[in-house]
Amino acid sequence: MDRDYVVVNRDVWNADAKNWVAVGERLWNTDKPVWGNWGVLDNTLGLIPEDLTNQDAIELGCGTGYVSGWMARRGARVTAIDVSSLQLATARELARKHRANITFIEGNAEATGLEDSCFDFAISEYGAAIWCRPEIWLREAWRLLRPGGKLVFLGNHPMVLLCSPTNGAPCETTLHRPYLGMWGADWTKVEFDPSGVCFNLTISAWMNLFSEIGFKVENYQEIFAPESAAGIRACIPAEWAKQYPVEQVWHLEKAK
């Protein structure tokens, strides 16, 4: 990938921002967090601590900001960053409606410009987790966290990329690309549902990167679609996602 993926992805999300307003409104109104494309309940995953009182938290790639809203409700002092000005406009409006005191920053989660060691908790759901280079944004997250701080991020499982046709058509039960050397995919010029440039790694590459940076893996989760799921979401058929992991969640800790 030799193009400026940050600019590409910013433009993609600005162009698509209007299509996420209703989703953002629905999730801001949700009493309990739900995660991923299929809305898995948080009580089965535990991505956000129940009590964040007096904790400093940051969302890396916040979109419409509902995850930041959930953290604010649990007592955190929340900062949220996103590269899309139009996504942030929605986030700010929804935060105002819900009287959530959140500091929103327009910028790249790979280089936030914030001070070292200023957060206790960081999270990314389909934000920096897939739209930023892992070796860059993870180092930035590590820098931002205090010793013992936690990072949780959710994104596509590598199986999704392996089983996605190169023309952007929905996932199939066939391998379409090699696992060895996986880095992600450029979806900007595909035939079906073009979007931006996303990143992913093999499981061992993720593990090696965490160790190199200084993160300890506390937990790893694979998410499947619930039995009640139907249709296609984000080019992933429900029947596929009931059989194969559609998303992954890493729970990391910065060494004390």
**pLDDT at site 256:** 81
Give me the residue spans of the domains in the chain: 5-156+201-232+245-254
Check the CA dihedral 190-11-124-66 and report its sign: negative
Distance CA 47, CA 50 (A): 9
- Tell me which of 3.20.20.70, 2.90.10.10, 3.40.50.150, 1.10.3720.10 is the CATH number of domain 5-156+201-232+245-254: 3.40.50.150
Distance CA 38, CA 36 (A): 5
Distance CA 135, CA 210 (A): 9
**pLDDT at site 176:** 97
Within 10 angstroms of residue 7's Cβ, the number of other Cβ atoms is 12
Where the chain has pLDDT below 50, the residues are none
Rounded to the nearest 10°, the torsion over CA 184, 198, 33, 159 is: -30
Quick: pLDDT tens for 18-76.
999 999 999 999 989 999 999 999 988 999 999 999 999 999 999 999 999 999 999 99
In sequence order, the 6+-apart residues with CB closer than 8 A to the CB of 96 are none
**pLDDT at site 3:** 59
Contact 256, 147 (CB under 8 A): yes
Distance CA 240, CA 44 (A): 21
